[in-house]
């Protein structure tokens, strides 16, 4: 019996080693999938959001709001870490003003989506490892960028006037000393592309950096099913004229 017991123990050890090897490989692949290098602070123009969701939106805000704070190469890193609105009670006023759900102002689904999709990945940084820290940092960076104020100073205002993409990019680069990404809704026949989002890039130390990496700029397919998925139709603005709308055209 002893040889048989010894054989079984050896077989069990071998199986355990194989299992551990597979588990280690899975964890390594998971870490690689969730590894990210920089953050996007994404500003959205509510009028364009409403243009893309005309049946769900009325009287859009007339200032740039936060769409999200997104790690560049990760999504849905911890599906068990659910959104808890109570963690935002101390910053709720700013959340409603600067990070609102443009389509559903009284709902919280948008914030839940941003946390579960992007926040759980950003949480690998100690500075972003709670929901309050994550949303609070997004608000802080947004206020520091102060995009609304700067665009007005640069006399870049929404309305019927079209703008050259190069002129807007040059103005932003001159002021912030980095190059952001501008995203537009592609033009319909006979119309201009429409400015929809402006992304500023940050290092993990929250320092502004250039957004120059040649990587796909649309939201991943795992976002499907959310009202804001239509924003994935935005693409990098093409050289030439663009429209910065002041009202929703029906």
Whether residue 136 contacts residue 130, with contact meaning beta carbons closer than 8 Å, is answered with: no
CA 9 to chain centre: 51
Task: Please say if 67 is a catalytic residue.
Answer: yes
- Give 189's DSSP letter: T
DSSP code at position 65: E
Q: For residue 117, give the nearest of 100, 95, 134 by alpha carbon.
A: 134
Determine whether 114 is an active site residue: yes
Given 118, 170, 232, 249, the catalytic residue: 118
What's 42's DSSP letter? E
CA-to-CA distance for 22 and 179, rounded, in angstroms? 43
**Is residue 226 annotated as a catalytic residue, yes or no?**
no
Q: Provide the terminal-to-terminal Cα distance of the chain, rounded to the nearest Å.
A: 84
Distance, CA of 154 to CA of 234 (rounded, Å): 24
| List 43, 67, 113, 116, catalytic entry | 67
Nearest-angstrom CA–CA distance, 107 and 104? 5
Which among 156, 195, 164, 165 is positioned nearest to 48, based on CA atoms?
195
Catalytic residue, from 43, 113, 114, 116: name it. 114
DSSP conformational letter for 115? I
Distance CA 138, CA 40 (A): 10
Instruction: Tell me which residues are annotated as active site.
Output: 67, 114, 118
């Amino acid at each position: 019996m002893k040889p048989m017991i010894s054989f079984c123990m050896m077989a069990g050890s071998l199986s355990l080693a194989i299992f551990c090897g597979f588990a280690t490989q899975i964890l390594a692949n998971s870490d690689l999938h969730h590894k990210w290098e920089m953050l996007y602070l994404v500003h959205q123009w509510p009028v364009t959001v409403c243009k893309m969701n005309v049946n769900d939106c009325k009287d859009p805000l007339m200032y740039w709001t936060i769409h999200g704070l997104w790690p560049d190469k990760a999504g849905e890193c911890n599906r068990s870490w659910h959104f808890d609105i109570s963690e935002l009670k101390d910053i709720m006023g700013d959340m409603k003003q600067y990070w609102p759900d443009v389509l559903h102002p009284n709902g919280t689904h948008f914030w839940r989506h941003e946390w579960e999709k992007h926040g759980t990945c950003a949480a690998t940084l100690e500075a972003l490892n709670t929901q309050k820290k994550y949303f609070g940092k997004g608000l802080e960076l947004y206020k520091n960028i102060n995009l609304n104020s700067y665009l007005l100073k640069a006399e870049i205002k929404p309305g019927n006037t079209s703008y050259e993409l190069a002129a807007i990019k040059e103005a932003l680069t001159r002021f912030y000393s980095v190059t952001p990404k501008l995203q537009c809704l592609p033009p319909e026949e006979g119309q201009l592309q429409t400015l929809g989002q402006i992304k500023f890039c940050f290092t993990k130390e929250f320092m502004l950096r250039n957004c120059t990496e040649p990587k796909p700029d649309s939201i991943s397919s795992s976002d499907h099913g959310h009202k804001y998925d239509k924003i994935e139709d935005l693409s990098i603005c093409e050289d030439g004229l663009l429209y910065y709308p002041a009202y929703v055209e029906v």
